[in-house]
Chains A and B, each alone.
Chain A
Amino acid sequence: MAEFFQQVVAGLATGSIFAALALALVLIHRATGVINFAQGEMAVFTTYIAWTLIENHGVNEWLAFGLTLVIAFGLGLGTERLVIRPIERAPLLTTVIVTIGLVLIFNGLVSLIWTAEVRAFPSPFPNDTWEIGGVAISQQDVGTFLTVLVMVTLLWAFFQFTKVGLALRASALNPEASRLVGVRVSWMLAIGWGLAAVLGAAAGMLTAPTVFLDPNMMQAVLIYAFAAAVLGGIDSPFGAVVGGLMLGVGLNLIGTYVDFVGAGLRLPVALLIILVVLLVKPTGLFGKPVTRRV
């Protein structure tokens, strides 16, 4: 039984990482209707900024994390103004292709500036372990998990209770009507990108202590984050977290208890399960059904 719980704990830890990036994907989709393939690479870029602040400039860790979040907001905002704004009226697919271009740029920039060497990234949490009933629980993992919970709560409160949050939701749902009531829709999109970059940066800094920092650190994570976001319903922050944790735990339990599933089949089986979920609930577990109009 200890092994079962140990696997669940490990799954929650990995799942928290998926969830953190999935939150960024959900935010940007909710605010702008776009799927941002570059979310992972932008996260890596900002994580490297944090690393430079700490290692090269001797900035205190917590201060560096805070500064990085601010820089990330600027980076997201600037990216939107620079490359997304000019194609505001282009079809959705064009925007998707532009985000693929951003993947290449950010990934290349990271290698160009910091080289591709694997690096250690300081963790904001202690590197100790609690032992409860034969189950080892890493404080790093607990810290990551709690941070993700804080992130989702803040995000929910932001959309629910702040004016900007409401304006963001409104301008994504109905840009024309929002314009009429005085919302500056174009700037709302930019703020959406900025906030998503902040969440992405947080995800990157939570991921790096565990999987180590290198330019492709988030590529594998991004795929799982997509799966988590889709499973939870791409518009639901709460769903993204539940999706991420379910995916993390599910993968571990499948790997441990389903004999025929080897390493190669763990992900395909998980994806198949998600596909089945989608067939039953086409907008994910917590997504709202889409109403279609002619």
Chain B
Amino acid sequence: MKRSDLTGVGLFVLAAAAILLLPRFVSDFRAQQFAYVGIYFIALLGLNVLTGYTGLISLGHGAFMAIGGYTTAILVSDQGLTLGSHTFSADVKDVWTIPLAGLVAGLIGFAFGFPALRLTGLYLALATFAIAVAMPGLIKYDRFEQFTGGGGGINLFESAARTRPVETTDPITFETISEPIKFLGFEIASFNEWLYYLSWGVALLMFGIAWLLLRGRTGRSFRAIRDSELAAASSGVNLATYKTLAFGISAFYAGVAGSLLAIATTFVNPDTYPITLSIFLLVGVVVGGLGSLWPLVFGAIFIQFLPLWAQEVSKAQGAPAVVYGVILILLMILLPGGAAGLIRRLQALSRGYHRSR
């Protein structure tokens, strides 16, 4: 192991500790917002494999998230599907559907990689945009409605069984069951915290995988394709293999994030994964830094919190959007390399400082 790797592992452990302790210092509601940050982080990691490392722009990652989210929702709603000895929806929300959601999305992404081989640049970006645009219509399509719940969506809560009032002699009395609502052994009171640890646990795992994957041969091939397809091909990189692989991996990450988002909102409908989600994921990647990994956290924080901050600045109709837009543009002008670019610059500065001493 190189020395820089060791520092990396050390920092990783520190970051993990910080993530572990954060909920102790913030309110339950904030913990939920930070859980969303973890979910976006996963999606951004995946999108960056495709866009930052391989140079293929996707404007359709919200659609892959939708595929993941609906996979989870459909499996855990009330289909009672079994895999081996495990029955899905045995518990209300089933974390075992998360990898499955990733796989389904990944396979579809992999398949989409083949037609994408023929398209370049802008045409590819708009082709991926088309998937995001088409997705709500597909979900609502009559014949899929029995699976997807149509426009009404799917609830992951079985609130019916859990909040029905106990029938007493007085039908007006509103007695409710006293048994706490359990969620994989956790009580609902700590749902937000549970969600936080779940999403960040998965996020750290996915981060580790991405790090290992991208520092090796695969990562080198991706970067070679990004820098020049012709040069990569002439130095023996199989374009078809690696481009489709990048699509597959990227969609796998999006699927996992979409699945977590479904669990977080406990409800999916076509509007859970709107076209704007795909666009803001791209914003998050660029704000975090193309071709970076951990600085993407800043991208995730940006897309989760900036809209809320913008609303704090002014609640006048339309004003939050203006604030958001202005900050985004200023950021692009001042930090064209995103958070990662800033960090590199700071590192260079400190190195220069040490040398001059």
Contact = CB atoms under 8 A, between A and B. Distances in A.
B325 A101 contact: yes
B307 to A, nearest CB: 10
Contacts of A108: 318-325
Interface residues of A, number: 53
A264 interface: yes
B21 to A, nearest CB: 33
Contact of B126 (A91, A107, A230): A230
Interface in A56-75: none
Interface string A256-281: 00000010111110011011001100
Contact of A265 (B137, B322, B325, B332): B137
A282 interface: yes
Contacts of A94: 286, 332, 336
By secondary structure, the B interface counts as: helix
Interface in B61-85: none
Contacts of A90: 332, 336
Contact of A226 (B120, B129, B142, B320): B129
B256 to A, nearest CB: 24
Given A83-B333, A87-B333, A100-B328, A267 B133 contact: yes
Contact of A290 (B115, B120, B328): B120
B321 A292 contact: no
A107 B57 CA distance: 25
A262 to B, nearest CB: 6
- Most chain B CB within 10 A, of A100, A103, A262, A293, is at A100
A292 B127 contact: no
Interface stretch (A110-118, A169-177, A187-195): A110-118
Interface string B103-126: 000000000000100111011011
Contacts of B118: 278-279, 282
A263 to B, nearest CB: 8
Contacts of A97: 282-283, 286-287, 328, 332
Contacts of A103: 325
Interface string A113-132: 10110000000000000000
B322 A278 contact: no
A275 B328 contact: no
Give the size category of B's interface with A.
35 or more
Nearest to B51: A93
B120 to A, nearest CB: 7
A76 interface: no
A87 B137 contact: no
Contact of B316 (A112, A215, A230, A264): A112
Contact of A111 (B125, B141, B318): B318
A164 to B, nearest CB: 24
A32 to B, nearest CB: 12
A86 B333 contact: yes
B213 interface: no
B290 interface: yes
B283 A100 contact: yes
A234 B133 contact: no
B120 A100 contact: no
Contacts of B125: 35
A109 interface: yes
Interface of B: 51, 57, 115, 118-120, 122-123, 125-127, 129-130, 133-134, 136-138, 140-142, 228-231, 234, 275, 279, 282-283, 286-287, 290, 316-326, 328-329, 332-333, 336
Interface of A: 29, 35, 37, 83, 86-87, 90-91, 93-94, 96-98, 100-105, 107-113, 115-116, 215, 223, 226-227, 230, 234, 262, 264-268, 271-272, 274-275, 278-279, 282-284, 290, 292-294
> Which 6 A/B pairs are nearest by Cβ-Cβ distance?
A111-B318, A108-B321, A104-B325, A105-B325, A268-B134, A108-B322
22 contacts: A93-B286, A97-B332, A98-B328, A98-B329, A100-B328, A101-B324, A101-B326, A101-B328, A102-B325, A105-B321, A105-B322, A108-B319, A108-B320, A112-B317, A227-B126, A230-B127, A264-B141, A265-B137, A265-B138, A268-B137, A271-B133, A292-B230
Given A96-B282, A112-B319, 8 more contacts: A90-B332, A91-B336, A108-B323, A227-B130, A268-B137, A284-B123, A290-B120, A294-B231
